[in-house]
Structure 1
Amino acid sequence: MRLKVCGLTDMNQVRQLNDWGVHFCGFIFYPKSPRYVLNNNTTEAIKRVKGTINKVGVFVNEKEDNILKMVDECGLYLIQLHGDETPRTCENLSNYVTTIKAFRISENDNILWKIKDYQDVVDIFLFDTEGVGYGGTGKKFNWNMLKGLSIRKPFLLSGGIQPDDVPELQNFMQDSVAKDLFAFDINSKFEIAPGIKNLALVHEFFNQVNPL
């Protein structure tokens, strides 16, 4: 199974992930985030990171022109929209770059209703946990809410995934919804500090989920 490591701020760590064969790295371009990648990096430094790892830019209610500017200046391969972006905005951007739309899930949500207007205008969905504001919460939503659904689009599973969740993820993959599961997305539960990952934990987790 593919893995995305999000919220990275250290380009040397990104290079290490690339060497291991990790599939995606996420850079947060949201100034209010403690993992805002441009606090300590230039766009040129991000662009210089090469390899097979796919660079994903995470944006929250950002202007379309600014997003496309960052795609060009940083050499991003995908974008992830984590705010309240409209289907029209998503469609406009997906004409230029592979686009992930994130949905923050709460216990009472009708997931199929929530995603229906985005079904034909983005490339990939991501399901995360509802929280205050737009950042990750480090908490899980109820993954059972996805079971039995037909998402009909590749999706990333996010929201508080931690190192000892492999058995639960293996169980999730037995459900019919997993036919559309594209990747796991990890972040804060694998950190030493915001934006700095515990690479030993990431490497162990990757070795466990990569063969799934």
Structure 2
Amino acid sequence: MRIKVCGLTDVNQVAQLDEMGMQFGGFIFYPRSPRYVFNSLSAQQIKKIKGKINKVGVFVNAPQEEVLKTIDDCGLYVAQLHGDETPKYCERISEYITVVKAFQVSSPEEIEWRIHEYQDVADMFLFDTPGLGYGGTGKKFDWKGLKNLNIGKPFFLSGGIGPEDHEQVKEFMEFPIAKDLFSLDINSRFEVEPGVKDLEKIKTFANHLNSK
């Protein structure tokens, strides 16, 4: 199972996660986030990060030109649009880079119609827990409520996934929806403090997840 570690703020930790085989590293470009990456790293430092790990930029309702400039300045591979971006907005960004459109899941029943108009303008989806902000709540939504949905596109599962949840994730992977599950997205439950990850917890979680 692929894993995206989001909210990264330290280049040394990114390198260690790359060595551990994590497929995606998320950098948050939302100034109101406690994990806002430009509080810790410059665009040049992010651009210099090499390796197999895919650099994902997380944006929330940012101006399109700002997103495109940040993608170039930081050498990003994927743009995760985590706000209220319209299909037209997503389409513009997707002409330039792989786009993951995030949705807060307040009701599993409404997901299919909410994603419908984004099917042709986003490459992947991400499902997260609703909250006052945009992500990073550390709380789960009802994953089981999604189990029979036909998403029709690869998606990331997010929302309060913690070190003890490997068995719950394995259970989710048996549901019909899991045919489209592309990656997990982990963040606040694997931290020492905002933006600083507990690498040992991540390593242990990944090992449990990939064991039979």
Q: TM-score, normalised by structure 2?
A: 0.97
The number of equivalent residue pairs is 212
User: What percent identity do the matched residue pairs reach?
Assistant: 58
Displacement, 1:135? 3.4
State how far apart, in whole Å, the 1-side matches of 2:48 and 2:206 are: 24
Measured at CA, do residues 91 and 43 of structure 1 come closer, stay the same or move farther in structure 2, by a change above 3 Å? same
Matches within 5 A, 1:140-159: 140-159=140-159
Partner of 1:199: 199
Q: Secondary structure at the match of 2:171?
A: helix
CA contact (8 A) 2:137 2:160 kept: yes
* 1:26 matches 2:26: yes
CA contact (8 A) 2:129 2:135 kept: no
Partner of 2:106: 106
State how far apart, in whole Å, the 2-side matches of 1:207 and 1:108 are: 29
Displacement, 1:40? 1.3
Displacement, 1:207? 1.9
Partner of 1:91: 91
Look up the equivalent residue of 2:136 and give its one-letter code: G
State how far apart, in whole Å, the 2-side matches of 1:137 and 1:100 are: 19
Instruction: Could you tell me which runs of 5 or more consecutive residues in structure 2 were left unpaired when the two chains were aligned.
Output: none
Q: Secondary structure at the match of 1:131?
A: coil
CA contact (8 A) 2:167 2:209 kept: no
CA contact (8 A) 1:2 1:210 kept: no
Measured at CA, do residues 124 and 108 of structure 1 come closer, stay the same or move farther in structure 2, by a change above 3 Å? closer
Q: TM-score, normalised by structure 1?
A: 0.97
Runs ≥4 residues deviating over 3 A:
none
CA contact (8 A) 1:35 1:194 kept: yes
Partner of 1:69: 69
Partner of 2:3: 3
State how far apart, in whole Å, the 2-side matches of 1:50 and 1:107 are: 39
Measured at CA, do residues 210 and 66 of structure 1 come closer, stay the same or move farther in structure 2, by a change above 3 Å? farther
CA contact (8 A) 2:126 2:157 kept: yes
What is the RMSD computed on CA atoms of the aligned residues?
A: 1.1
Per-residue CA deviation, residues 119-159 of structure 1 (Å, 9 max, x unaligned), is: 11100000000001223211000001211111000000000
Partner of 1:176: 176
Per-residue CA deviation, residues 1-36 of structure 1 (Å, 9 max, x unaligned), is: 100000010110000001111100000000000000
Partner of 1:189: 189
CA contact (8 A) 2:108 2:145 kept: no
Per-residue CA deviation, residues 14-63 of structure 1 (Å, 9 max, x unaligned), is: 00001111100000000000000000111000011100000000000001
Displacement, 1:210? 4.1
Look up the equivalent residue of 1:3 and give its one-letter code: I
Displacement, 1:211? 5.8
Partner of 1:123: 123
Instruction: Could you tell me which runs of 5 or more consecutive residues in structure 1 were left unpaired when the two chains were aligned.
Output: none
Measured at CA, do residues 95 and 211 of structure 1 come closer, stay the same or move farther in structure 2, by a change above 3 Å? farther
